[in-house]
Structure 1
Amino acid sequence: MSLPAVLRDLRAAEDSAGRPAGSVRLVAVSKGHSLEQIGAHVLAHSGLQPGGFALAENRGQELRDKVAELAGSSDHPALEWHFIGPVQRNKVKYLKAVALIHTIEDLEQAEAVAKAAEAWGHAPGVLLQVHNGEAQKHGADVAELPGLLRSVRQTGLEVRGLMVMAPYDDPAAAERVFADTAAQAAHLGLSELSMGMSDDFPAAVRHGATLVRVGRRLFTQED
């Protein structure tokens, strides 16, 4: 599915949920794809997304290399990069160009980012990743969120919201996870919600997602 088709489905999801067009921002997940693929499938249509969109990577070195290769492009001079992978403290140094980190799950990660940001002269915004109940997944337990929010804010980082990954192949469980995460964000007074991926972003939009992370559907030709 091409980017125009994904955006068409995103606008349809907003309309179905009674939300204004453009209230949900696309995060184009470019991990594992070459610059040629990114250019052909995503950047060529960048003007179609109201307010633009971000590119997201889940590995620090890959992000660093793509940022360097695309830097100064006359066609795309001001790309916004997000990081959606596990935050490894020894690899935070690769995230200098990132505007938003979606995956802070403990204080040690936040402290590493804050320390690096001092050297960079600027700090990325961050989201707290919420555990979705699956044993193998990353994220902070819901009960830990208020304390984690306070602690991360004390490092000087701006916490903008929450991020969650829904269980795969279980639409009912995904609905519950999205609803619970949205309720937690409201309780904590956080406005940003990174929820929903290629297969489940319409459900995430229904529950208030403001960012949806779509990769696989962007890099196929199916409409």
Structure 2
Amino acid sequence: MSLSNYIDHTLLKPSATKTDIKILCDEAKEYRFHSVCVNSYYVSLAKHLLTRSNVKVCSVIGFPLGAMSSDAKVFEATKAVEDGAEEIDMVINIGMLKSKNYVAVYKDICDVKLAIGKVTLKVILEISELSKNEIIKACQICLDANADFIKTSTGFSKGGATLTAVKMIRKSIKNKAKIKASGGIKDLETALKYIDAGADRIGTSSGVSIVTEKKSPVESSGY
């Protein structure tokens, strides 16, 4: 598989303009990235800009805190799908997980998954806020709730992806779900390390520089 197919080309900063989204989509088409990842307001624009391309539109939901009601997440996710989103990245309810209210965490994810049906659901754990045991517990809840991917981070907290966490998640979920590593992945060498560690997708705003960077010997392995 081409390295480009691993990349969710991402633009989530609050100051993003329509012009910025157009540039994002043009780059995604040029480099054949798997998707663009945008805030839900821009889903319909991105979908329009990506007409007649194979690039998918991914929308973040409950972003970046995950602390809004499940009803709010469901509404946002449903609207994003109606506007053309083919993948949804929702933030887990971190406070409820840390409070050990696992039923609330499970229901939060389930409600969104039921609302979007077969649309791919990635659940963002925000690993920088969680202990090892909390990450493992969150992974199990995600599997129980039929999430398609577990995603490491929003990129808006105190830390992003780590190789240790990706390996831990892979060991915990085995092949029952996929992994998206996100947050702080800015160069080719780092991206390849995450893929080797078990990541199935890379979320980054540095996709162009990653895929245009001079190839290293490691890349000859098939990425």
Taking the aligned partners of 1:45 and 1:129, their CA distance within structure 2 comes to: 23
Match of 1:35 in 2: none
Gaps in structure 1 of 5+ consecutive residues: 31-37, 167-176, 197-202, 210-223
Taking the aligned partners of 1:10 and 1:107, their CA distance within structure 2 comes to: 37
2:181 to 156, 162, 169: 162
Taking the aligned partners of 1:44 and 1:193, their CA distance within structure 2 comes to: 23
Q: Identify, as 1 or 2, the structure richer in helix.
A: 2
Q: Which amino acid aligns with 1:137?
A: K
Gaps in structure 2 of 5+ consecutive residues: 1-15, 114-120, 213-223
CA contact (8 A) 1:128 1:159 kept: no
Mapped pair 1:81 → 2:93: no
Q: Structure 1 stretch 182-191 or stretch 102-111: which is displaced more?
A: 102-111
CA contact (8 A) 2:180 2:200 kept: yes
Match of 1:193 in 2: 202
Match of 2:36 in 1: 26
Task: State the TM-score, normalized to the length of structure 1.
Answer: 0.55
Q: Which amino acid aligns with 2:181?
A: L
Q: Deviations over 1:153-206 (max 9, x none)?
A: 24x64133311236xxxxxxxxxx43343031232253410112xxxxxx3332
Distance 1:81-1:11 versus aligned 2 partners, 3 A rule: closer
Alignment of 1:1-223 (within 5 A): 2-3=17-18, 5-14=19-28, 19-20=31-32, 23-30=33-40, 38=41, 41-43=42-44, 46-49=47-50, 50=53, 51-56=55-60, 57-62=63-68, 64-69=70-75, 76=82, 79=85, 80-84=87-91, 87-88=94-95, 89=97, 90=101, 92-93=105-106, 94-96=108-110, 97=112, 99-103=121-125, 105=127, 106-115=132-141, 117-118=143-144, 120=145, 122-129=146-153, 137-139=158-160, 141-142=162-163, 144-145=164-165, 147-154=167-174, 157-165=176-184, 177-196=186-205, 203-208=206-211
Percent of aligned pairs with the same residue? 12
Higher relative contact order (CA 8 A, sep 6+): 1
Taking the aligned partners of 2:190 and 2:94, their CA distance within structure 1 comes to: 20
Taking the aligned partners of 2:27 and 2:184, their CA distance within structure 1 comes to: 19
